[in-house]
Copies of this chain bind each other. A is one copy, B any other.
Amino acid sequence: MEDVARRAQVSRALVSLVFQDSPKVSAESRRKVLEAEAELGYRKNALAQSLASKHPRTIGVHIQDISNPYLAAVYAGVAEAAGKWGYDLLVGPGSGPDTREADLINTLLSHQVCGLILQSPYLPTDELATLLSGMPAVLIGRNAPIDQVDLVFTDEIQSAQLVVSHLVELGHTDIVHISGGSTACATAREEGFRRAMDEASLPARVVPGDFIEEAGTLAVRQLLTDRALPTAIFAVNDLVAVGAMGVLHEAGLRVPADVSIVGFDDTNIAKLGLVQLTTVRQNVDAFGQVAVQMLIDRVTSGRAERARMRMDGQLIVRKTTGPVPPRL
């Protein structure tokens, strides 16, 4: 930076001002500085910048399950929005459910980010709260009651209702939900399913499961041996739905002629020609944008109240749902 200043024949301070495009610098000086910068191939030192500044322009991101395309899309939105606002992104090192979320978040924090955007389905609410204390953050896809943390999430209740109405309209009355265990998001979907079935005066059958394919295969195998197969299955996510489809296929049952199946997330698997799964899509495009805006707003305005943004899910009807088969 010293070099840039010398080459442009100005002081270091002025160079600094140019880079934050302050209004108090003459067009002439700005031009000279920019020119010198380009000629020298100068690259800012984000570290020094954040260290000296009381308002670092780096936001930390942690998305647990980035291999889920729904979250990858959220992430893309975050990246785009951050770029537009002139913020750098730092992503915590972690993928897969086994990584220690707390460590990752600490790494991010130690790099002095100005705020955090997290999708953290596993960390208990209280741990999250102590970890985040005093740090602006927005949580994605999880309705956690933590002060000073903003929220963006899909209305799982409404989404589940969408699924149930779709199936009920097709004539289904015997519907099983394969749940996803005890994560925040799984319980919300299950709750939504129960409520929707209640409203339709239908019995809500729930089989415990997980977010992996095997949960789907196991659940359906059990239903098969119990001779308790329903006419429709609502899986907690696409992977589980596909697991279920696989077993039905093996058993010589047709989807949707014999059993209808609905997933959740609209992942790339759901779109596969071989699968063509009816599923629920979350409003991914908006998620990232909203999250970044919430965070920047809180950081710059010093807002203290919690902001929450609940978004509707959207039913994507493909080829795994159909009319209820005639009773034999």
Contacts and interface: CB of A to CB of B under 8 A. Distances in A.
Given A44-B110, A93-B61, A110-B44, A274 B273 contact: no
A109 B44 CA distance: 9
Contact of A82 (B66, B93, B99): B93
Give this chain's copy count: 2
Q: Which of A61, A96, A213, A274 has the most CB of B within 10 A?
A: A274
Interface in A72-120: 72, 75-76, 78-79, 82, 88-96, 99, 106-107, 109-112
Interface stretch (A137-145, A148-156, A190-198, A238-246): A238-246
Contacts of A96: 72, 76
A127 to B, nearest CB: 14
Nearest to A216: B273
Interface in A37-74: 43-48, 50-51, 58, 61, 66-67, 69, 72
Contacts of A213: 268, 271-273
Given A47-B111, A90-B91, A111-B88, A273 B79 contact: no
A34 interface: no
A275 interface: yes
A106 B239 CA distance: 36
Contacts of A107: 46, 88-89
Main secondary structure on A side of the interface with B: helix
Given A72-B95, A250-B273, A269-B272, 6 more contacts: A79-B93, A89-B93, A90-B90, A91-B91, A243-B273, A249-B274
Interface of A: 43-48, 50-51, 58, 61, 66-67, 69, 72, 75-76, 78-79, 82, 88-96, 99, 106-107, 109-112, 213, 217, 239, 242-243, 245-247, 249-250, 268-269, 271-275
22 contacts: A43-B109, A45-B110, A46-B110, A47-B50, A47-B51, A47-B112, A48-B51, A58-B111, A66-B67, A66-B95, A67-B67, A78-B93, A79-B93, A88-B110, A89-B92, A89-B93, A89-B107, A91-B92, A245-B273, A245-B274, A246-B273, A269-B269
